[in-house]
Amino acid sequence: MLNGILKKFLLILLVVVVYQNWGKIERVFNPSQVVSEQTQAKASVVLYATDWCGYCKLTRRFLDQKGIPYKEFDIEKDAEARKAYEALGGRGIPLIDVNGTLIRGYDPDEILAALK
């Protein structure tokens, strides 16, 4: 009985880990979606987000899928990040700073446009 419970727990844990890292996993199997190395080299992307935000998760997944490097700050856990977020005008998450262009919410087309 304990063995069955352990197997179920490990399966659930595996599903959670795969879900959280799906963008990185997908990039391994579909490298054609990766943004060019030149674009990656000049990319300066900062993501202000929280753990629980669904659109923040979509943004992370998108950036991971495209191979776009980014710095992430959790505005609930980091007081300095919260101050920076508020200095940029705040008002909703995710807030993405792409090469100086602020993008409010999850918008893949705007992210790609700001990278060019």
> Domains in the chain, please, with CATH?
2-115 (3.40.30.10)
Sheet holding 45-49, edge to edge: 71-74, 45-49, 95-98, 101-104
Helix (H, G, I), strand (E, B) or coil at 69: coil
Predicted confidence pLDDT, tens digits, the chain (116 residues) = 678 888 888 888 888 877 777 777 766 666 555 555 555 556 799 999 999 999 999 999 999 999 899 999 999 999 999 999 999 998 899 999 999 999 999 999 999 999 98
CA distance 70 to 61: 12
Strands (E), 1-116: 45-49, 71-74, 95-98, 101-104
pTM: 0.67
